Structure 1
Amino acid sequence: MTAAGDRPERLPVRRAGALMSGMDGHPWPALVHGRPAVLVPRRRDAVERLVDAADGWGAYLGGLSTPCEEWAAQLDGARLVARRPGGEVWLDEQLLLSAEWRRGALAHGAVLLVTGEFGNAAEVVGAALAGSLRVLAAPLRFTGRPVD
């Protein structure tokens, strides 16, 4: 997040690659309060991802945000592409998606993007307790089979 007059915070970006588990520092899918989410750790060895309140990012306080219509997420098979307002790719990843995650995505029509000061699944709780998680709900559309 940024303070007034500060430059927007940037997080690294990675192009789609191998399926990820959450313990290797790459984004991974999860269910947060029954809603489909992708947890995106900070990575300092790649291109940065913009995380700016002006784009709809907010602090995660246990509540769930409504979809930010300026964003767009598309799921084609296991590949999730999320785009910022204006169309810039924010996330492009192949994910290990369960049928439950896909059903949740169909039911909610959105995906929660969660990021912050964590490098893997073991560090998320600490980041949440420290108040460093940022969350955004992006409208989701399917271009392949939504459920296996």
Structure 2
Amino acid sequence: MSRVELTRTGLHGVPWPELLPDLRPALVVPAAPGRLPHPGDGWTRHLPDEPDPAWTAHLDSHPDGHRLTVQRPGGHPWYDGHLTAGREWHRATRTHRALLLITGPFSGPHDFRTAAAAGHLLLLTTPVRHT
């Protein structure tokens, strides 16, 4: 699949949900100017043990789908958008009450592996609330 096809399918630059092998929910978030990780906001290069209480995530269910809002410390928005995720992913967010955010210098699924292999991913776990 080429980059042009990724753009047409809506995958290029759009976050996608994943489940880790231990079934913890993650949101893989490609780099974008409006959601760059700020130094000192809690981002790390290793898997965080606990959610960062300075961050918040709200997952709202609507008749037209699900909307995820993630706010950085101080209540500033980091991500706000619709999310296509399966029932198992939503169940995992309710069970764990936390969401792992994964970001870095990648724009979609095809260059994610390269960024990961180079050690360029940044990770942060935030509490997640359902409404």
| Alignment TM-score, normalising by the size of structure 2 | 0.82
Aligned partner of 1:109 in structure 2 is: 97
Alignment of 1:3-22 (within 5 A): none
Tell me whether 1:39 sits opposite 2:28 in the alignment.
yes
**For residues 39 and 51 of structure 2, what CA distance do their matches in structure 1 show?**
14
**For residues 11 and 128 of structure 2, what CA distance do their matches in structure 1 show?**
25
RMSD, aligned CA: 1.7
Work out whether residues 24 and 93 of structure 2, in 8 Å CA contact, stay in contact via their aligned partners in 1: yes
Alignment of 1:68-147 (within 5 A): 68-77=52-61, 78-143=66-131
**For residues 48 and 89 of structure 2, what CA distance do their matches in structure 1 show?**
16
Tell me whether 1:48 sits opposite 2:34 in the alignment.
yes
Matched letter for residue 71 of structure 1: W
**For residues 22 and 66 of structure 1, what CA distance do their matches in structure 2 show?**
32
**For residues 24 and 128 of structure 1, what CA distance do their matches in structure 2 show?**
17
Aligned length: 118
Aligned partner of 1:14 in structure 2 is: none
Which string of whole-angstrom CA distances, capped at 9 and with x for unpartnered residues, describes residues 89-108 of structure 1? 10001011101101110111
**For residues 130 and 22 of structure 1, what CA distance do their matches in structure 2 show?**
26
**For residues 39 and 100 of structure 2, what CA distance do their matches in structure 1 show?**
15
**For residues 140 and 121 of structure 1, what CA distance do their matches in structure 2 show?**
24
Work out whether residues 111 and 137 of structure 1, in 8 Å CA contact, stay in contact via their aligned partners in 2: yes
Which SS does the other structure have where 2:35 is aligned? strand
**For residues 101 and 123 of structure 1, what CA distance do their matches in structure 2 show?**
23
Matched letter for residue 26 of structure 2: A
Distance verdict in 2 for CA 1:85–1:95, change over 3 Å = same
* Post-superposition offset of 1:64: 4.2
Matched letter for residue 87 of structure 2: A
**For residues 107 and 48 of structure 1, what CA distance do their matches in structure 2 show?**
30
User: Structure 2: which 5+ runs fail to align?
Assistant: 1-8
Which SS does the other structure have where 2:88 is aligned? helix
**For residues 36 and 112 of structure 2, what CA distance do their matches in structure 1 show?**
19
**For residues 20 and 105 of structure 2, what CA distance do their matches in structure 1 show?**
18
